[in-house]
Amino acid sequence: MISEIIWTSFVATLLGLLSLGIFIGLILLLRNYMQGGSYNKPTLIDGKIVIITGANAGIGKETAVDLAKRGGKIYIACRNIERGQNALIEIKRRSGSDNIHFLQLDLASMKSIHKFSDEFHQLEDRLDILINNAGVMACPKSFTEDGFEMHMGTNHLGHFLLTNLLLDLLKKPPHSRIVNVASLFHIVGKISKTNFFGEKFYFRWYAYATSKLANILFTRELAKRLQNTGVTANSLHPGAIQSDLLRHVNIVIRIITAPFRWILFKDIPAGAQTQIRLAVDPSLENVTGKYFADCKEATTLFTARNDKTAKWLWEKSEELTGLGINDVLVCE
Ligand SMILES: *[C@@H]1O[C@H](CO)[C@@H](O)[C@H](O)[C@H]1NC(C)=O
């Protein structure tokens, strides 16, 4: 009788442990799966000149380390000088390369973007890879120095201006690449002529999503305009990543969701893989105007394939950043 009870509880415990083991195993498998593909080719980019915006943290910093290891000459561009200098030290240490440089750039200021471009033109006579990686996510309604809504201003207009100011240098090498970090979140955004800067209504995540939609439409139009120049432009979804971008998310939500994020979100090295591949993979030399996720080509929502909106956005962005006018001034 007693031995039967002991036996039964022994079996029950064993079964319990077994199912717990299976459960943990499945969670680990799921987590591993959610990390997505990675770029494993040992491609070298010796001497290639690279700019990465927002490289002081997260996937930007990770990308800088990776491309520095591959022999690139890396310029990290970020707003905060102290954080930029600290990142520089860390990237040098982790990559073992000394060929990494810091230039200050505030994408929320057109003045700063022009200054950055001028400084870069003094330093280099070509650019091989431009990674537009910096971004703000879900911040409260605020405006850039030039009065642009923060998400649209920083994530799209800042990079729009920067890219256009660097195009002359990008056209110097036979092949060069522009990599724009967008997001799957673009699917809930909308480019609206009447609510472009959230004039009528504003939701933080909606504003973020809209700026990411703008990144993809910008890439599409840019690729079209750069046909036969040797410069390619692609965009990507890095994945849901455990990064500093979550800083604007409520702390309680961050704590509650932490275990789920650990399982379902990519860690930072996994999150950097798609942009690393787009920046260096020789097989993508002629690929342009595309969108990638999990290290391979992916499809966007139809709103991100609307060429009419892409053209409108380009012209609106040109007008807002005063691009045409500045070009004329530089030429004279
Ligand atoms: C890219 O296009 C050029 C010119 O057509 C060609 O020579 C080259 O092999 C292509 N590269 C790849 C990786 O397909």
Q: What is the CATH number of the domain that holds 52?
A: 3.40.50.720
**Around Cβ 15, how many Cβ atoms within 10 Å?**
10
pLDDT of 263 reads: 78
Is 228 a pocket residue for ligand 1 (Cβ < 6 Å)? no
- Please classify residue 312 by burial: count the beta carbons closer than 10 Å to its beta carbon, then call 0-12 exposed, 13-18 middle and 19+ buried: middle
pLDDT value of residue 82 = 96
- Supply the DSSP symbol for 143: B
> SS3 for 299?
coil
C-alpha distances in Å from residue 274, one per residue of 118, 281, 298 = 30, 10, 11
Convert the pLDDT of each residue in 276-330 to its tens digit. 999 999 999 999 999 999 999 999 999 999 999 999 999 999 999 998 665 544 4
In a domain, 209, yes or no: yes
Give me the chain's average pLDDT, please: 92
The answer to whether position 216 is within a domain reads yes
Residue 6 domain-assigned?
A: no
Nearest-atom index, ligand 1, CA of 284: 13
The per-residue pLDDT for 196 is 95
Across residues 250-260, what is the average pLDDT?
81
Q: Has residue 13 been placed in a domain?
A: no
Quote the number of domains for the chain: 1
- Name residue 296's beta-bridge partners: 293
Nearest CA to ligand 1 atom 13: 283
Report the nearest-CA residue for atom 10 of ligand 1: 286
Residue 89 pLDDT > 90: yes
Residue 329 located in a structural domain: no
Judge whether 212 lies within some domain: yes
Structural domain includes residue 29 = no
Query: Which pLDDT score, from 0 to 100, does residue 240 have?
Result: 82
Task: Outline where the chain has alpha helix (H).
Answer: 2-34, 58-69, 81-95, 110-123, 150-151, 159-170, 204-225, 251-264, 268-271, 273-280, 307-321, 323-331
Q: Give the confidence band of 1 by pLDDT, cuts at 50, 70, 90.
A: low
pLDDT at 330: 46
Q: What is the pLDDT of residue 328?
A: 47
Contact residues for 141 (Cβ-Cβ < 8 A; gap 6+): 149, 150, 198, 202, 204, 207
Q: Given a cut of 70, is residue 272 above it in pLDDT?
A: yes
Q: Does the annotation mark 39 as catalytic?
A: no
Question: Among 179-193, 196-210, 214-228, 263-277, which stretch is predicted with the lowest mean pLDDT?
Answer: 263-277
Average pLDDT over residues 17-28: 88
Residues 6+ apart with CB under 8 A from 8: none
Instruction: State the pLDDT at residue 297.
Output: 95
Encode pLDDT of 39-87 as tens digits. Answer: 989 999 999 999 999 999 999 999 999 999 999 999 999 999 999 999 9
Q: What atom in ligand 1 is closest to the CA of residue 286? A: 1
Residue nearest to atom 5 of ligand 1 (CA): 286
Note the pLDDT of residue 264.
78
For the chain, give the percent of residues with pLDDT over 70: 95
Q: Which domain holds residue 126?
A: 35-321
**Residue 244: per-residue pLDDT:** 60
Task: Report the residue among 227, 228, 283, 286 best suited for mutation to probe ligand 1: largest number of ligand atoms under 8 A from its CB.
Answer: 286
State the pTM of this model.
0.89
Instruction: Identify the band that residue 221 occupies on the pLDDT scale cut at 50, 70 and 90.
Output: very high
At residue 332 the predicted structure's pLDDT band, cuts being 50, 70 and 90, is very low
User: What average pLDDT does range 122-129 have in this prediction?
Assistant: 98
pLDDT in tens, 152-182: 999 999 999 999 999 999 999 999 999 999 9
Establish if 252 belongs to a structural domain: yes
